[in-house]
Amino acid sequence: MKTKNLFAALFCLLMAQMVLAAQPILDDTTKTYAMPVLTRSPQGHVLLTWTQKDAQGVGSFCMAWSKDNGNTFADKNVVFASAGLGGSRLMRPKIIIKNDGTLVAVFSDRKDAGNKRAIDILFSTSKDNGTTWAPPQPVDTDDTKCVRGFFDAVLLPNNEIAVAYLKDVANSTKHEERDLRLVVTKNGQFQPERVIDPVVCDCCNISLLVDSKGALNVYYRDNNDDVRDMAVMTSTDNAATFSKPEILYKDNWRIKGCPHTGAFSTAFGGSNLIAWFSGAENEKGLRLVSEGGKKLAIINAPSAKNAYVTANAKIAVLLWEQNAPESNLAQIAFQKISGDKIAETNWLKDAMNATNANGLIIDNQLIVAYEAKNTNNRNSIKISRVAL
C-alpha cells in the first residue's frame, strides 16, 4: 500500500509539473514579451528577467523572484521603462547579483527613440531585492551620441562589475566600424572606459565569463580582413590587464559584413564551454568548443540557430532552436554533456514555435525559459523543465 501511494504521489507531481511547463507564465495579449533570462542567487532562489512592450510602444525591463525553482513566481518589479529600451538577443538586458545581495541591472536605451545612431548602456542598482531601483546612469561617461551595444556584464571575483561592449569608432568613414571596450567599477562606480581590441566584428554580441579559476574571459567575434572567427582574451587580475587576443577555433569564415550572432559561454568541469554559429563553407552550423579550442559538437541542420549553453557542477547542456521535422515549427532542442561525452539530440516537447531559449540546471533538472511565438505577433514567455 505504501508503494502504491508513493507511485500515486509521484505521478501527481509529474502531471503537475507537465501542466505547469506547458502553460505560459507571461501572456497578456496586449503586451509583447521577449528576452527571458534565468539566474540563480547565492541563496538558491531563481530570478527571471525579461522585457515587455505595451500597445503604445513603451518597453519595460522586468524581474520576478521564485523560491521554488521556477515553479511559481512573485509579482513582477519594473527595473526601467522607456520607448527606447533595448531588448534583442544581441543586447539582452541582465541583472547581476553581488555578494552582499545588491542587484545591478545593465541594459541599453535610446534616449531619442528615433535616433538609431545614439544607444547608451545604462546601469541601475537595487538594495531591496528589486523592489526599488536607483535612477539609471550610463556606464560610459563620454556623452558623445553614438552606438554603444552588443554588451555583456559580469561580477568579478573582487565583487566589482565589468561591462564589455562595442562602440562606434570616432570619425570612421565606414558604414559601421566599432571597437571593443571595457568598463569596470571601483567601489561600485564605473571607471573610464578602455579599448581592449581596436578591430573587431561590428555587430555581434559579446560573452563574458569568470571561470572556475577566477579568470575573466572575453569571447567576441574578431575581424581579420573579413575573416570573422571567435576570439578570446583573458584577465587574471580582475580586468586590470589582458592576454593577447587569440582565435579560439579557426573557422576561417570569410564574410563581407557582420553576421549579427555572437557567442554564449559557461564554466564546466574545470574548463569553459563556448557555443556560436559559423557560416564557414567546410563546416557550417552551430558549434560547441572547449576552452582550449577542442571541437565537441557541430549542429549542422540548416534551421539550427540561437545556441545557448548552461551548466552546473556535474552536467552541461547545449540548447538551440531548430525546425521540428513533423511540424516545420521552431522547437527547442538540447544535448546533454557529461564529462567529454555528448548525448544524442533531444527535444523540449512542449517548447514548440519557440525562440530565444535561456536555461538553468538545478540538481538534475533543466529549466528553460523562452519566447513562444503567437499568431498575433505578440510573443509570450513560457518555462519548460525536463529531468536530465
Domain spans in the chain, listed from the N-terminal domain onward: 1-28+301-388
Distance CA 276, CA 266 (A): 12
Nearest-angstrom CA–CA distance, 367 and 70: 8
Predicted local confidence at residue 171, as pLDDT: 85
Phi/psi of residue 24, nearest 5 degrees? -65, 145
Q: What is the pLDDT along the chain (388 residues), one digit of tens a residue?
A: 444 444 344 334 443 344 344 446 898 999 999 999 999 999 999 999 999 999 999 999 999 999 999 999 999 999 999 999 998 999 999 999 999 999 999 999 998 767 778 999 999 999 999 999 999 999 999 989 999 999 999 999 999 999 999 999 998 888 889 999 999 999 999 999 999 999 999 999 999 999 999 999 999 999 999 999 999 999 999 999 999 999 999 999 999 999 999 999 999 999 999 999 999 999 999 999 999 899 999 999 999 999 999 999 999 999 999 998 888 899 999 999 998 789 999 999 999 999 999 999 999 999 999 999 998 889 999 999 999 9
Strand-pairing partners, residue 121, are 108
C-alpha cell belonging to residue 94: 541582465
Q: Which of 340, 350, 205, 342 is nearest to 264 (CA)?
A: 205
| pLDDT (0 to 100) of residue 113 | 66
Q: How far is CA 157 from the centre of its chain?
A: 20
Neighbours of 14 (CB within 10 A): 11
- Note the pLDDT of residue 377: 87
Angle at 226 between CA 220 and CA 232, to 5 degrees: 20
Cell 572575453: give the residue: 218
CA distances from 337 to 120, 227, 272, 288 (A): 37, 30, 12, 10
CA 374 to chain centre: 22
Backbone dihedral angles phi then psi of residue 320, each to the nearest 5 degrees: -160, 170
CA atoms within 13 A on the CB side of 281: 3
Amino acid (one-letter) located at 259: P
Residue with C-alpha cell 560610459?
Answer: 140
- For the entire predicted model, the pTM comes to 0.92
DSSP per-residue string spanning 283-305: S-EEEEEETTS-EEEEE--TT-E
| DSSP type of residue 21 | H
Joined grid coordinates for residue 377: 505577433
The one-character DSSP state at 91 is: G
Dihedral of CA 133/139/144/150: which sign?
A: negative
